[in-house]
């Protein structure tokens, strides 16, 4: 026995050592996985916010053109009005048009009659689960009835937990129909006992935006006291041009898509801006600022904010004495001149954000005067009023412009406390930002971000969530993952897949700025050997992309062309080019330019394509290039523009599609 006792102690000691080693290894493994996950998240968010900056810059470019363009004829002025103006009187044009859209006998989908009944909503859900469509006649009629209902609602809706056991609040859905189905499966359909608040950003990015709108609008009409919809920054026709809703509607409703889009534009403008539960919980899409005033927000004429980004333009006077189209200044935009893109800086973005905020403030001041309100002290402060769909919380105190996302402001915990105390509130619920767990508290748990679109960036990138509030107003969360694939992956597999998608997107971003990167690298390559240090690589890449990423940590995944501890940057960029050269005959510089500007070019093409047919006429092309060539200081004669239009019309159908439009961009860029 005495001999066996020391032996047992030896075994125990070995077992403890093994357990400690395993535990240490596992902790390091989890730490590495967490670091990879955080880096991946930073990549996705930085690229997303950079895209939003590009959209704001494009809108700023159009605003600049409109401020400085002088039409030389009534035809040019009509073209500009049609291309850039928001329609002043949509009501008279679109609301009685659904009767002209006939439902054919071959249509096998649901038939809606108004007022809607719960069975209609159930039929819609079953139809969309089968990937079928609702007929355009019923879509238009539904939008017409929705607009009538929304126009009767206040800017801020007030609801109470006295009439239902729980109120469910959902965040961004972004066209992800599977997430909405899963929410209804887990939580139940809207009903007199089940109240829902959907906090904006129903559309864009996902593939089923129009289906989500149809479902939400149907339940809104069936249960007007139990379903509430707030407006988000994506309920905006200018944003829809870039992020997918416009394209989706035109693909699914080719004949009547334009009518549907016009009605959606007006319906969006009537969506309420906020919801308040029991006078204690404020629900708004973005957040608040240091001068947020709910009394003012309740009185503004919200439907005049057709686009939160753009401003409504005054009519451009036609100067009959000027026979040439011109700009009153030679300033150019970084979009139209890609070679100047590397000159963008923080100061440029700050100036852009100030201009966007000023546009919103001009409208707000007019509505303030119409409401008979006096200007409160501090109205020159940043981030006012109706930009509530764009604001974002931050840990540090104060309020400042959000130059990262191109609009709105950052607000600190002191701002939250001030606004909550001012209006007797205890909690602010917002959305607007993807969160890895679907929700996140900040500001001493007084601000809650809820995001309901799972797999937002890639499969497995994040969970979706919704929050339920009872009479005690204590939040209860339900998280979910709508993708069956993500459930079957281990943590390592999930992170690896998401990481792969993130680095692919980052490589595309690097490739799109190849010329700028070469110029930046050469500034550090003093001896012109084609080699730079990794610290110089980090500095140069950040100076061009402005993504704020930990480049040194990301380097092993991005860089393999190493010579004696230094980067052979020409070989590295050549590898990037080979990854993205889909057609051998396309020159690398052109492909780079198209990668960089494709989203902007698609948005421009969609704006020019006023009937959303996917084609622009020679006349529209002619007027557009006269406008752009003036701004870009490109000398193109009338005959030159006509020759250009004919040369890129490859199929000779008298119209220009998007691929042909890209060809025009290439030819002018080469010239």
Q: For the chain, what is the mean pLDDT?
A: 78
Which residue in 219, 224, 166 sits closest to 195, CA to CA?
A: 166
Catalytic residue (one of 55, 120, 208, 234) = 234
3-state SS, residue 168: strand
Please name the residues in contact with 440: beta carbons below 8 A apart, sequence gap of 6 or more.
448, 449
Which secondary-structure segment (H or E) carries 619?
A: helix 618-632
Question: pLDDT of 250-260, one tens digit each?
Answer: 999 988 888 89
Distance of alpha carbon 464 from alpha carbon 171, whole angstroms: 9
Give dist(CA 408, CA 289) in Å, integer. 9
Q: Which two tokens stand for residue 498?
A: 């998401």
Identify the pLDDT of residue 659: 65
664 against 21, higher pLDDT: 21
Residue 585 annotated as catalytic = no
Based on the number of CB atoms within 10 Å of its own CB, is 162 exposed (0-12), middle (13-18) or buried (19 or more)?
exposed
Q: What pLDDT sits at residue 317?
A: 39
CA 659 to chain centre: 24
DSSP code at position 343: G
The pTM (predicted TM-score) of the whole model is 0.77
- Please count the CA atoms within 13 angstroms of the CA of 221 that sit on its side-chain side: 24
- Regarding predicted confidence, which is higher, 186 or 562? 186
Q: Which of 250-259, 348-357, 547-556 has the lowest mean pLDDT?
A: 348-357
φ, ψ (nearest 5 deg) of residue 287: 155, -150
Q: What residues are paired with 276 via a beta bridge?
A: 158, 282
- Peptide bond before 115: cis, by omega within 30 degrees of 0? yes
Predicted local confidence at residue 361, as pLDDT: 54
Nearest to 598 by CA among 512, 510, 507: 512
CB half-sphere exposure, 533, CA atoms < 13 A: 5
pLDDT tens digits for 391-407? 889 999 998 887 766 67
For residue 599, the model assigns a pLDDT of 65
CA–CA separation, 432 and 391 (whole Å):
8
More confident residue, 529 or 443: 443
Once rounded to an integer, what is the mean pLDDT over residues 146-159? 95
- The CA-atom distances, in angstroms, between 115 and each of 141, 192, 216, 299 are 11, 17, 15, 30
């Amino acid at each position: 026995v005495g001999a066996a006792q020391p032996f047992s102690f030896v075994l125990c000691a070995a077992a403890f050592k093994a357990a400690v080693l395993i535990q240490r290894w596992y902790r390091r493994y989890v730490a590495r996985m967490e670091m990879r996950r955080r880096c991946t998240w930073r990549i996705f968010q930085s690229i997303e916010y950079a895209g939003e900056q590009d959209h704001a810059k494009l809108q700023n470019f159009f605003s600049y053109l409109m401020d400085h363009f002088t039409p030389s004829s009534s035809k040019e002025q009509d073209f500009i009005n049609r291309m850039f103006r928001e329609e002043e009187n949509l009501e008279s044009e679109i609301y009685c048009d659904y009767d002209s859209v006939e439902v054919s006998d071959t249509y096998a989908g649901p038939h809606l009659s108004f007022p809607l009944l719960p069975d209609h909503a159930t039929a819609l859900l079953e139809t969309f689960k089968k990937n079928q469509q609702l007929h355009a006649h019923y879509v238009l009629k539904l939008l017409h009835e929705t607009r009538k209902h929304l126009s009767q609602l206040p800017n801020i809706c007030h609801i109470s937990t006295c009439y239902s056991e729980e109120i469910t609040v959902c965040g961004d859905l972004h066209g992800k129909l599977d997430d909405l189905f899963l929410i209804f499966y887990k939580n139940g359909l809207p009903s007199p006992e089940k109240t829902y608040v959907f906090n904006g950003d129903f559309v864009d990015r996902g593939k089923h935006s129009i289906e989500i709108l149809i479902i939400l609008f149907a339940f809104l009409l069936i249960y007007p006291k139990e379903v509430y919809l707030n407006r988000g920054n994506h309920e905006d026709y200018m944003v829809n041009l870039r992020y997918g809703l416009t394209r989706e509607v035109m693909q699914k409703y080719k004949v009547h898509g334009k009518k549907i889009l016009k009605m959606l534009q007006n319906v969006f403008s009537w969506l309420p801006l906020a919801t308040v539960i029991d006078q204690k919980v404020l629900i708004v899409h973005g957040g608040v600022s240091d001068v947020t005033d709910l009394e003012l927000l309740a009185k503004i004429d919200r439907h005049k904010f057709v686009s939160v980004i753009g401003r409504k333009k005054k009519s451009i006077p036609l100067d009959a004495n000027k026979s040439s189209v011109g700009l009153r200044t030679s300033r150019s935009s970084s979009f139209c001149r890609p070679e100047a893109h590397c000159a963008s800086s923080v100061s440029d973005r700050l100036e852009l954000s100030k201009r966007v905020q000023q546009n919103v403030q001009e409208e707000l001041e007019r509505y303030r005067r119409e409401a008979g309100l006096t200007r409160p002290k501090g109205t020159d402060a940043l981030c006012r009023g109706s930009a509530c769909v764009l604001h974002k919380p931050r840990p540090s105190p104060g309020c400042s412009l959000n130059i990262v996302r191109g609009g709105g402001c950052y607000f600190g915990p002191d701002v939250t406390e001030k606004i909550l105390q001012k209006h007797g509130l205890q909690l602010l619920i917002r959305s607007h930002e993807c969160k890895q767990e679907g929700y996140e508290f900040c500001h001493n748990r007084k601000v809650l971000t809820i995001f309901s679109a799972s797999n937002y960036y890639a499969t497995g990138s994040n969970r979706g969530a919704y929050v339920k509030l009872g009479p005690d107003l204590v939040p209860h969360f339900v998280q979910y993952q709508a993708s069956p694939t993500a459930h079957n992956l281990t943590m390592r597999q999930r992170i690896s897949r998401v990481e792969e998608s993130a680095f692919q997107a980052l490589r595309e971003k690097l490739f799109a700025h190849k010329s700028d990167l070469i110029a930046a690298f050469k500034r550090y390559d003093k001896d012109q050997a084609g080699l730079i240090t990794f610290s110089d690589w980090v500095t140069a890449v950040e100076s061009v992309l402005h993504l704020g990423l930990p480049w040194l940590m990301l380097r092993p995944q991005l860089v393999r062309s190493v010579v004696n501890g230094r980067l052979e940057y020409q070989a590295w960029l050549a590898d990037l080019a080979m990854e993205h050269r889909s057609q051998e005959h396309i020159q690398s510089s052109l492909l780079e330019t198209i990668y960089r500007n494709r989203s902007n070019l698609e948005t421009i093409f969609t704006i020019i394509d006023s009937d959303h047919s996917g084609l622009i006429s020679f006349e529209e092309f002619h007027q557009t290039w006269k406008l752009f060539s003036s701004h870009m200081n490109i000398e193109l004669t009338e005959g030159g523009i006509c020759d250009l239009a004919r040369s890129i019309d490859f199929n000779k159908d008298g119209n220009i599609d998007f691929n042909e439009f890209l060809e025009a961009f290439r030819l002018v860029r080469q010239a």
